Structure 1
Amino acid sequence: MKRRSFIKSAGTISLGIPFLNSCSSLPAFQQEDFSIKTGPVSINTWNFQEAGKTAGATLIQGGTALDAVQRGVMVEEANLDNTTVGNGGAPDREGEVTLDACIMAPNGNCGSVAYLKNIEHPVLVARKVMEETPHVMLVGEGAYNFAIQNGFKPKNLLTEKSEKEWRKWLKEKDYKPIINIENHDTIGMLAIDQTGDIAGACTTSGLAYKMQGRVGDSPIIGSGLFLDNEVGGAVATGMGEEILKNVSSFLVVELMRQGKSPQESCELAIKRIIKNNSKYKDFQVALLAVNKKGEVGSYCIHPGFTYVVNRAGENRNIKSESYL
């Protein structure tokens, strides 16, 4: 079975946001300059450059953190080359593409959808749930019906490429995730806008060839995403089951609340996962966080995880520190 590289050339969708010329030429890896903490900033998991550009452009133009993270992750939801998020995502074992997403506002309000079929942008549906219903999460048929009732158009999300890979998998039905060539490279994003408010979003098509009905950490507030506007926020990627067991994003924020830096908090949360599972060498989990000061931290189990920081419209792709 051929595995997909986690670093893809991100596709561009038109969101009415002009990209900045300063983002056009990007070195492969740069260290974060922690002396620059003021002003708007966005961070996102993995090397999703166009997502970072889109969020950064939104912030520079005076947009809210909530709009920035929504628009940023939508880039990957529409990117057909990304088989781990949105349209073109790898299907479950039955050949169905099912999507999970959540979004969280500075005031603590949040919305989520899980096991959503045939809707290209689950993050938009999650925001509708947050803003227009008394609920936090809708799933399956209920989430789909809610989307249709609110004007979303159904769309077949199983591309020819993804279907071809799925049919290859059916011949052996062998599932052995390879570290950092995973098939569940969630995009999680956090942003701080010009007013200092923090928002976050997370979206994925989940594990490729997962069992029908499987939901991971990405749409679960506190696991795939959590923030407190007075403290900071965190997002997670990797093996969702392990993130769920430890409510990792919530833990990172609570550690920052205690006065620890984003880096220290991510490290402690990863070490909690390692302590609780002796088989930690068999999977990857990565955490990414930003505090109210704009300081960024990240930590993962295995080397290979990278993340994008956008400050003042400039992207930096940064290698995360790792336990191993």
Structure 2
Amino acid sequence: MLNRRKFIKSTAATASLFAIGNKSASGMIPPPDIKDIKPIVISTWDFGIAANQAAWKVLVSGGRALDAVEKGVHVPEADPKNQSVGYGGLPDRDGHVTLDACIMDELGNCGSVAGLEHIVHPISVARLVMEKTPHVMLVGDGALQFALENGFKKENLLTKESEKAWKEWLKTAKYAPVMNIENKLYDKAAPTKLPGNQYNHDTIGMLAIDSKGNISGACTTSGMAYKLHGRVGDSPIIGAGLYVDNEVGGATSTGVGEEVIRNVGSFLVVELMRQGYSPEAACKEAVMRIIKKKPETAKNIQVGFLALNKKGEYGAFAIQKGFSYAVCTEEKNDLLIPGKSYY
């Protein structure tokens, strides 16, 4: 009879003929030893740096990854200078600031809100949907009613700056998305002002592993600027804008949500990691699916994916250059990394 060590070696050798990377014969990635897992938080774009700092305070104190990602994305949600997330977000073409968000924990629990108005922290409403209702998603007036019933304060989210940009856009009402607009819109030292019809949107997606090795994620946005009233992108959709499987890892997305939804992007990334792809390779494959299906469309849009596996390895890939993400660990304090791209 084979001893355990010889059996594992034999199984691994056989599986390597059929598997990618380090999959086991069953098609599953062998789970890492819990003692080898260290806390980490990653998030999209440069405004992820400040968000990571808030999340890290929770992780370093031994807190749960779910609490960390919620606290982390609170930062851009409440920042009026960030016109792509939460308070101060650019409105739809009718002048309404509508917010989308979702959250997912290590147990597969998830909650989401879409088209939510007047609430600064849609991520926290999404968490209550997860924890207090039998549902996954609430939308529009129903989401607002639920938030108010649970003690959230109704506020005007349209700042003077965003209202001014919207009125400028109304002069031509031309929708002209600009790739990587968040890098142009958001600069803590000196926000760049662009013509009204050049504003687009973007998202913060955040993934974290806590000291127990558990993974959670959050995604929140004000959506595509000057969108049709009622438009919902990928950010609040579990499997599109965000997906977490505690056995494998998590993924989140940014960019033109319609293309992410069509490919169920974040779920795809996690499933590729389950098959043995590295986080970066999984993100790249998800991007390539979009490009292969709509090559002409892909030339003029941005979509990026960010992923974190159970080992704490991370990676990203985007259609266009310019996508960046922030990383915070014990060794790397809020390091900003440019993601690789196809073009």
Normalised to the residue count of structure 2, the TM-score between the two structures is 0.83
Separation of aligned partners in 2, 1:101 and 1:263: 24
Question: Deviation string for 1:165-196 (max 9, x for gaps)?
Answer: 00000000011111212622200000000000
Aligned to 2:333: 314
Unaligned runs of 5+ in 2: 1-35, 183-199
Tell me, yes or no, if the aligned pair for 1:232 and 1:253 is still in contact at 8 Å.
yes
Aligned to 1:31: none
Cα deviation for residue 38 of structure 1 reads 3.9
Cα deviation for residue 214 of structure 1 reads 0.2
Q: Which residue identity does 1:299 align to in structure 2?
A: F
Provide the secondary structure at the position in 2 that maps to 1:189. strand
Question: Deviation string for 1:64-89 (max 9, x for gaps)?
Answer: 10000000001000000000000000
Aligned to 1:115: 115
Separation of aligned partners in 1, 2:74 and 2:334: 18
Q: Is 1:77 the counterpart of 2:95 in the alignment? A: no
Separation of aligned partners in 2, 1:114 and 1:94: 17
Q: Which residue identity does 2:175 align to in structure 1?
A: Y
Tell me, yes or no, if the aligned pair for 2:205 and 2:253 is still in contact at 8 Å.
yes
Tell me, yes or no, if the aligned pair for 2:100 and 2:222 is still in contact at 8 Å.
yes
Aligned to 1:256: 273
Aligned to 2:323: 305
Separation of aligned partners in 2, 1:162 and 1:284: 22
Q: Is 1:208 the counterpart of 2:225 in the alignment? A: yes
Separation of aligned partners in 2, 1:103 and 1:184: 20
Tell me, yes or no, if the aligned pair for 2:90 and 2:166 is still in contact at 8 Å.
yes
Separation of aligned partners in 2, 1:192 and 1:121: 22
Aligned to 2:87: 87
Separation of aligned partners in 2, 1:178 and 1:92: 16
Separation of aligned partners in 2, 1:263 and 1:90: 31
Provide the secondary structure at the position in 2 that maps to 1:39. coil
The 5 A counterparts of 1:166-205 are 166-181=166-181, 183-205=200-222
Provide the secondary structure at the position in 2 that maps to 1:87. coil
Separation of aligned partners in 1, 2:129 and 2:180: 33
Aligned to 2:342: 323
Q: Which residue identity does 2:244 align to in structure 1?
A: L
Q: Which residue identity does 2:43 align to in structure 1?
A: N
Q: Which residue identity does 1:127 align to in structure 2?
A: R
The 5 A counterparts of 1:19-38 are 38=37
Q: Is 1:294 the counterpart of 2:312 in the alignment? A: yes
Separation of aligned partners in 2, 1:220 and 1:78: 22
Tell me, yes or no, if the aligned pair for 2:318 and 2:339 is still in contact at 8 Å.
yes
Aligned to 1:45: 44
Q: Which residue identity does 1:39 align to in structure 2?
A: K
Provide the secondary structure at the position in 1 that maps to 2:254. strand
Cα deviation for residue 259 of structure 1 reads 1.1
Separation of aligned partners in 1, 2:201 and 2:138: 21
Separation of aligned partners in 1, 2:243 and 2:233: 15
Aligned to 1:4: none
Aligned to 1:100: 100
Cα deviation for residue 314 of structure 1 reads 1.1
Provide the secondary structure at the position in 2 that maps to 1:282. coil
Higher Rg of the two aligned structures: 2
Q: Which residue identity does 2:335 align to in structure 1?
A: R
Tell me, yes or no, if the aligned pair for 1:46 and 1:185 is still in contact at 8 Å.
no
Separation of aligned partners in 1, 2:77 and 2:181: 19
Matched residues, number: 288
Larger mean CA deviation between 179-188 and 90-99 belongs to 179-188
Separation of aligned partners in 1, 2:155 and 2:234: 25
Aligned to 2:144: 144
Q: Which residue identity does 2:252 align to in structure 1?
A: V
Separation of aligned partners in 2, 1:263 and 1:117: 35
- Which of 241, 259, 262 is equivalent to 1:224? 241
Question: Deviation string for 1:200-229 (max 9, x for gaps)?
Answer: 000000000000100000000000000100
Separation of aligned partners in 2, 1:193 and 1:111: 20
Cα deviation for residue 286 of structure 1 reads 0.4
Question: Deviation string for 1:34-83 (max 9, x for gaps)?
Answer: xxx84100000001211011111210111110000000001000000000
